[in-house]
Amino acid sequence: MLDHPLNSLGFAKPPSETRVVVAMSGGVDSSVVAAQLKEEGYDVVGVTLQLYDHGAALAKKGACCAGRDIHDARRVAETMGFPHYVLDYENTFREAVIEEFADAYLAGATPVPCIRCNERVKFKDLLATAKDLEADCMATGHYIQRMQGAAGPELHCAADANRDQSYFLFSTTPEQLDYLRFPLGHLASKAETRALASKYGLPVADKPDSQDICFVPNGNYAAVIEKLRPGAAEPGEIVDLEGRVLGTHRGVIHYTIGQRKGLGIGGLGDPVYVVRLDPDSRRVIVGPKEALSTRIVPVREVNWLGDTPFDSRAEWHVNVKVRSTRPPRPAVIRPISATEAEVELLNPEDGVSAGQACVFYAPEGSRILGGGWIWRGR
């Protein structure tokens, strides 16, 4: 008997014998993935996670995994004729994502909970559930590409740089990457995704994209943190780099590194920016723009996706992103251990903040080499 040619998901068997769990948020991207795979003949199972219930958040338009989104995912499954399940992961999500989000802000950091959600919930617990369902793989609607390399699957940026989600997926491990599929990563634009949604007659074809963190109604981080940590918004002093008191603030949690507006300390002549947060003394430290400039960035919890061990070299010459909205810039990574390193930015950047990710990219091409979490260092 001849071997069957590889199907579009990379398996040597017919699509009808290939089970794929699709992580469905209720948005247009994951809905198109599920519909396309179903049309191609795959054995599709849709799974949506109920992640939170924060009252106002459930009524918030554009937030993923809220009540409306679960309903939308179910409607897509009914339209395309595949089974759909809703799993209650509220406790897991709260412990793995929301609690750390609150604690990070209280510690003066600027967290990225969407990365932790992918790392600790979707690509961990949900992936395990997919395996329990005897699925051959799990597919998502993320804009990123998985390509087969000489040493195994590689993670690559999306074809559409405007939709690329590599910054939020750097912590995907090689083992997870082996099991995951990203069918939208090769599309040239979001317009193509919406065109596919219309082609399949999906009820979410014109649904707006989610913009904010799903459990933060109206983008009000401080309100969520105060709810989770009563008394977190303790007032304190705004001081300059020499420690001179310039004014008062209403809680460190209301400020982020690089912030200029809303400080309430006019009349200083030159503009000042938040350059450091000291939650222990409840102080917000401000200074001139040049004080924001950072060249050395300590990172830990490094996830390395290169072909040879991270600490097998003294230096890696790569490009890095220190914020999701910035382009990759040249840098040198000096490993301290397999999971910790010092990153030297060849051109200093402003507003580098603890709690953000530093994502590593190959200096040429589209490959993502991993990344780590920025911290204050020792």
Cα(161)–Cα(325) distance, integer angstroms: 11
User: Whose CA is closest to 233, among 216, 248, 254?
Assistant: 254
Q: In terms of C-beta distances under 8 Å and separation of at least 24 residues, what long-range contacts does 172-176 make, across chains too?
A: 172/118, 172/119, 172/123, 172/303, 172/305, 173/123, 173/303, 174/305, 176/123, 176/127
CB 360 within 8 A of CB 170: yes
Is residue 117 part of the annotated active site? The answer reads yes
CB 190 within 8 A of CB 178: no
CB 55 within 8 A of CB 72: no
Cα(314)–Cα(334) distance, integer angstroms: 6
Cα(213)–Cα(102) distance, integer angstroms: 13
Cα(67)–Cα(75) distance, integer angstroms: 13
Q: Which of 114, 117, 137, 157 is catalytic?
A: 117
Cα(153)–Cα(307) distance, integer angstroms: 10
b or e along 28-58 (b: 16 or more beta carbons within 10 Å of the residue's beta carbon)?
Answer: bbbbbbbbbbbebebbbbbbbbbbbebeebb
Cα(240)–Cα(53) distance, integer angstroms: 41
In the annotated binding site for ATP, the residues are 23-30, 49, 141
| DSSP structure string for 153-185 | EEEEE-SSTTT--GGGGTT--HHHHHHEE-TTT
Q: Which of 65, 114, 137, 214 is catalytic?
A: 214
If phi > 0 it is left, if psi is from -120 to 50 it is alpha, else beta; for residue 258 that is left
In the annotated binding site, the residues are 23-30, 49, 141
Cα(263)–Cα(281) distance, integer angstroms: 18
CB 89 within 8 A of CB 95: no
State the catalytic residues: 117, 214
